[in-house]
């Protein structure tokens, strides 16, 4: 049910807020509590003229009931709305509401990583066709400014690689497993207790969330279209506390790393997976719920953007910043309700958007990836095992860099081999893992973790 249009200051910018969850509430309160400051900074008062919620019967302290509606699409196209702020999350009805708003000539601010990862180019093209803007800084990295720098400040650079820690839930868990010795289950329970992980954490721990965000970043950095399905993805569910102990002994820290880079032949390599980082790498020191994005360009070298990547306050910061930018950039970037209205700022073009029809990407074969690896293999503790494993590595063109044998179960007569390799092809590692389990000496090929560096892997 759509509510009656509430009164608002004359000459104000009308905002529709779709969603009043953790971030939506933060944006609503920021616009309410800082109204005078934002009006001065942007040159126009900003009025929230409608709020779309799922349940109209639920009490919401500090929110005028007259603002509420359970029809987000109708609110998004209402005549008194200039800018739509979409904070519902998920694909639908969020994508349909964004599409309807843009088609109706409304600019949109969103924090929706899934919509932008799957339909971003299409929606950006629609915004351009209608002379409005679609801004989405908050869709990646919470409050970390990275979308705008890729769109503007780094345009002079040919981006060579992008490495990112862009999921606060998994980074908190991996930090707890490394520093506090927690098991995977205990780390997840602690993340859920603190509100960092959802009741169903599969999107985070499976790497899905990070893949959405990487698709957005890679599309911008490499001026192409990357869909989440193009991103190779592994989560953190197979990691155990002992992997963190072994990694520390070897001088490494485990992080869920998102990587995008071009090969020498121009193919794009995009992947999300656990990675052993040298303990001295700046990304290895990004702990807890912090996020970081490292961008390497031909002119700039390596620059790192770091900060809180999740939660109400950092995401609110990015959403409101996009909103203020729209308001201050002039009537051309807003909808019909405000065009021709008085403003302290001259009319300008909409904020710069990425290309709406970028060339298609050619994606690199994962099997051709060439980097170092960590392997944990459970074997029978008997003479000749090392020689047998060594022959299996040699058969698959893999050279061992280090090997540590740890007694796993004296009663069962098993031991664990902790092996690091020199640079090898991923296809050779895959073949070793597929065939090693057939060896009489091997009881289980436990896990494979890629070993990263500042250059995140290369190809011969």
Closest CA to 85 of 51, 132, 60: 51
HEC letters along the chain: CCCCCCCCCCCCEEEEEECCCHHHHHHHHHHHHCHHHHHHHHCCCEEEEEEECCCCCCCCCCCCHHHEECCHHHHHCCCCCCEEEECCCCCCCHHHHHHHHHHCCCEEEECCHHHHHHHHHHHHHHHHHCCCCEECHHHCCCCCCCHHHHHHHCCCCCEEEEEEECCHHHHHHHHHHHHCCCCHHHHHHHHHHCCCCCCCCHHHHCCHHHHHHHHHHHHHHCCCECCHHHCEECCCCCCCHHHHHHHHHCCEEEEEEEEEEECCCCCEEEEEEEEEEECCCHHHHCCCCEEEEEEEECCCEEEEEEEECCCHHHHHHHHHHHHHHHHHCCHHHCCCCCCCCCCCCCCCCCCCCCCCCCCECCECCHHHCEEEEEEEEEEECCCCHHHHHHHHHHHCCCCEEEEEEEEEECCCCEEEEEEEECCEEHHHHHHHHHHHCCCCCEEEEEEEEEECCCCCCECC
Residue in the block written with tokens 């192409």: 224
Residue 210 tokens, joined? 């990070």
d(CA 105, CA 337): 9
Instruction: State the catalytic residues.
Output: 213
Largest CA distance in the chain: 86
Residue 236 tokens, joined? 């953190």
380: which residues sit within 8 A by CB, 6+ positions away?
A: 413, 414, 415, 440, 441, 442, 443
């Amino acid at each position: 049910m759509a509510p009656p249009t509430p009164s608002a200051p004359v000459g104000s910018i009308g905002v529709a807020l779709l969603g009043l969850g953790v971030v939506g509430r933060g944006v609503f309160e920021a616009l309410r509590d800082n109204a005078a400051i934002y009006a001065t900074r942007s040159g126009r008062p900003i009025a929230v003229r409608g709020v779309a919620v799922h349940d109209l019967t639920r009490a919401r302290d500090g929110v005028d009931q007259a603002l509420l509606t359970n029809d987000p699409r109708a609110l998004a196209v209402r005549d008194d709305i200039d800018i739509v702020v979409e904070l519902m999350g998920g694909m639908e009805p969020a994508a349909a509401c964004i599409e309807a708003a843009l088609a109706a000539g409304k600019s949109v601010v969103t924090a929706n990583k899934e919509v932008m990862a799957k339909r971003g180019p299409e929606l950006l093209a629609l915004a351009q066709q209608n002379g409005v803007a679609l801004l989405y800084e908050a869709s990646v990295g919470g409050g970390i400014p990275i979308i705008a720098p890729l769109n503007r400040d780094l345009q002079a650079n040919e981006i060579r690689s992008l490495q990112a820690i862009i999921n606060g839930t998994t980074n908190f868990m991996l930090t707890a497993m490394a520093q506090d010795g927690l098991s995977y289950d205990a780390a997840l329970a602690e993340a859920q207790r603190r509100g960092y992980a959802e009741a169903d954490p599969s999107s985070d721990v499976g790497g899905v969330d990070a893949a959405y965000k990487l698709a957005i970043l890679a599309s911008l950095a490499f001026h192409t279209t990357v869909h989440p399905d193009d991103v190779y993805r592994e989560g953190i569910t197979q990691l155990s506390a002992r992997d963190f102990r072994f990694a520390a002994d070897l001088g490494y820290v485990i992080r869920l790393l998102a990587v995008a880079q071009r090969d020498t032949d121009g193919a794009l390599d995009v992947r999300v997976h656990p990675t052993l980082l040298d303990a001295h790498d700046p990304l290895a020191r990004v702990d807890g719920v912090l996020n970081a994005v490292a961008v390497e360009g031909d002119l700039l070298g390596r620059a790192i953007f770091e900060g809180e990547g999740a939660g109400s306050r950092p995401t609110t910061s990015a959403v409101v910043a996009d909103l203020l930018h729209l308001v201050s950039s002039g009537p051309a970037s807003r909808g019909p309700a405000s065009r021709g209205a008085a403003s302290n700022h001259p009319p300008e073009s909409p904020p710069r958007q990425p290309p709406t029809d970028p060339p298609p990407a050619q994606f690199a074969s994962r099997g051709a990836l060439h980097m170092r690896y960590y392997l944990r293999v459970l074997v029978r503790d008997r003479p000749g095992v090392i020689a047998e494993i060594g022959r299996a590595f040699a058969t698959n063109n893999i050279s061992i860099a280090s090997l540590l044998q740890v007694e796993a179960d004296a009663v069962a007569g098993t031991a664990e081999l902790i092996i690091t390799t020199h640079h090898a092809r991923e296809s050779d590692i895959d073949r070793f893992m597929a065939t090693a389990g057939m060896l009489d000496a091997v009881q289980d090929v436990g896990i494979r973790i890629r070993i990263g560096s500042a250059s995140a892997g290369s190809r011969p």
